[in-house]
C-alpha cells in the first residue's frame, strides 16, 4: 500500500475516534468546567503516551516479534469483528446510526445528574470522564495505526493519526 494511502486511511479512521473523544471533552467542559476537561484530556493523552511507549520498548527488547504479531493480529481481528458487527446492524436498520448529538446529550445528562457533589476545585467526575474518553478513543487510534501501518509504515500511519488529531482539535477550538 502506498504511503499516501496509508496516511489518508489512517487520517480518516483516526478522525472518527478523535471526534468521539472531542464530543466527551466538550460535554465535560460545558457542564463540569473547562479546567476539568483540560486536566482529564491531558491526563488521558499522557497515560496513552506512556502506555504506548512502554509497550513499544518492552516489545522491541524483551518479546519475540512473532508472538507480538500474533497478539496484535488477534486484537485487531476482535476489534474489527466488533466494528463490522456494528456496521452491519446499523446498515440493516437494527441499530441506530451513531449520532454524536445523542452521545453528547447522554454525557451531558450524566454530568448534570452527578453535579450535586461538585466542589470549587477539580471535579473527579468531570476529570475522569474526560480522561476515560480520551484514553479509550486514543487506544482505538493506536490499534488503527498498528493495523494500517503494518510493520513497515507505522510512521506514515502515525502521521495520519496525528494530523487528524490536529484537525479535530482545531475544529473543536473553532
DSSP track, 106-164: HHHHHHHHTGGG--SS--HHHHHHHHHHHHHHHHHHHHHHHHHHTTT-HHHHHHHHHHH
User: Which pTM value belongs to this model?
Assistant: 0.74
The grid coordinates of residue 122 equal: 477539580
Sequence-ordered list of residues with C-beta below 8 angstroms from that of 26, at least 6 positions apart, any chain: 37, 104, 172
Please, what sign has the CA dihedral across residues 109, 113, 115, 117? negative
pLDDT in tens, the chain (174 residues): 689 999 999 999 999 999 999 999 999 999 889 999 999 999 999 999 998 888 777 766 777 767 777 887 888 788 788 878 888 888 888 877 767 788 778 878 887 787 655 555 788 889 999 999 999 999 989 888 887 887 678 889 899 999 999 999 999 999
Distance CA 57, CA 139 (A): 17
What is residue 74's DSSP assignment? H
Amino acid at each position: 500500500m502506498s504511503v499516501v494511502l496509508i496516511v489518508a486511511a489512517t487520517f480518516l479512521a483516526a478522525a472518527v475516534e478523535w471526534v468521539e473523544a472531542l464530543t466527551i471533552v466538550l460535554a465535560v467542559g460545558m457542564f463540569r468546567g473547562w479546567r476539568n476537561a483540560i486536566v482529564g484530556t491531558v491526563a488521558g493523552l499522557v497515560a496513552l503516551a506512556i502506555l504506548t511507549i512502554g509497550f513499544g520498548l518492552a516489545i522491541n527488547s524483551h518479546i519475540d516479534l512473532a508472538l507480538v504479531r500474533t497478539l496484535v493480529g488477534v486484537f485487531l481481528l476482535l476489534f474489527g469483528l466488533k466494528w463490522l458487527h456494528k456496521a452491519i446492524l446499523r446498515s440493516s436498520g437494527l441499530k441506530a446510526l451513531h449520532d454524536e448529538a445523542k452521545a453528547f446529550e447522554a454525557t451531558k445528562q450524566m454530568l448534570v445528574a452527578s453535579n450535586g457533589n461538585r466542589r470549587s476545585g477539580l471535579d473527579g467526575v468531570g476529570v475522569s470522564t474526560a480522561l476515560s474518553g480520551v484514553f479509550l478513543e486514543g487506544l482505538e487510534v493506536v490499534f488503527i495505526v498498528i493495523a494500517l501501518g503494518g510493520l513497515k509504515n507505522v510512521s506514515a500511519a502515525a502521521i495520519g493519526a496525528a494530523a487528524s488529531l490536529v484537525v479535530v482539535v482545531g475544529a473543536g477550538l473553532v
